Chains A and B, each alone.
Chain A
Amino acid sequence: MNTCPDKMVHYMHEYLDEELSHEDEKELKSHLHECEACRTHFHELKRTIALVQSTSHINAPQDFTEKVMNRLPKEKKEVGMRR
């Protein structure tokens, strides 16, 4: 990978952020075609994202809202008076 232009990794990230121009994307793709090290790098980045996104969602416990409501400051009719 050391011989590759630094901008290739930059292009990969821009691509992942959907911000790579069409022209640069072509350059990246043709480079990936030739360079196995960069291909691996790119694959690892995409895999990283997939792994991060594979983590399941956590839900709040049943009594969460109740707990929050119980901890709110006592009701004040005039919100403006609070401070």
Chain B
Amino acid sequence: MELIVKKRIKQVLKGDQNAFGEIVELYKDKVIHVCYRMLGNRHEAEDISQEAFIRAYINIHTFDVDRKFSTWLYRIATNLCIDRIRKKKPDYYLDAEVTGTEGLTMYSQIQADGRLPEEEVESMELQDSIQQEIVKLPDKYRSVIVLRYIEELSLKEISEILYLPLGTVKTRIHRGREALRKQLRTM
């Protein structure tokens, strides 16, 4: 996959915008999935994913072709998610409180402001609950857990994506796992 991508990047650099469309096709599901797990909201995930691809396009000349494209792209997407989480923090805490009350989930709250019908169908209760617990994690733990267990990236890749030393990534994964363990224990 990386080889095709490199070829397409060269075409994009030569001014062929359509070649970028193929790159989007190859990575769109992965990027939107990471964003969804980070943000817990499908519309936001789509919004941020679009933004990530647009930034990738605009900055494509800064991409070092000797590196892995997916790592670079995930870095852009993850950083955008973290920015978004920080900006909406007051809301997020409010939602987190709501989830503590019986029968009311963050999702049932959000539903009112427009979830897609297919999304409601596919969201099984357990999956929703797990997602809620992931979203409750502080963002520094959330990003490593999402990249490690949902994207199944290696510790080294995560350290490259987040520009963090390997030791820091390990510590955050350990703490993130412990936090989730406590949250998911009763589930």
Contacts and interface: CB of A to CB of B under 8 A. Distances in A.
Interface of A: 9-10, 13, 16-17, 19, 41, 44-45, 47-49, 51-61, 64-65, 67-69, 71-73, 75-80, 82
A75 to B, nearest CB: 5
Contacts of A13: 170, 173-174, 177
A47 B14 CA distance: 49
Contacts of A58: 29, 32-33, 36, 42, 45
A69 B17 contact: yes
B15 A51 contact: no
B61 interface: yes
Interface of B: 12-15, 17, 20-21, 24-25, 28-29, 31-33, 36-37, 42, 45-46, 49-50, 53-54, 57-58, 60-61, 122, 126-127, 130-131, 134, 145, 149-150, 155, 170, 173-174, 177-178, 180-181, 184-185, 187
Interface SS of chain A: helix
A47 B182 CA distance: 11
Contacts of B178: 9, 45
A55 B42 contact: no
Contacts, number: 109
B49 A17 contact: no
Given A65-B21, A79-B60, 5 more contacts: A45-B181, A47-B184, A60-B29, A71-B54, A72-B17
B134 to A, nearest CB: 7
Contacts of A64: 24, 28, 32, 46, 49-50
11 contacts: A45-B177, A51-B126, A52-B130, A52-B145, A53-B150, A58-B42, A68-B21, A68-B53, A69-B21, A75-B15, A76-B15
Given A55-B131, A58-B45, A77-B15, A48 B28 contact: no
Nearest to B149: A52
Contacts of B54: 68, 71-72
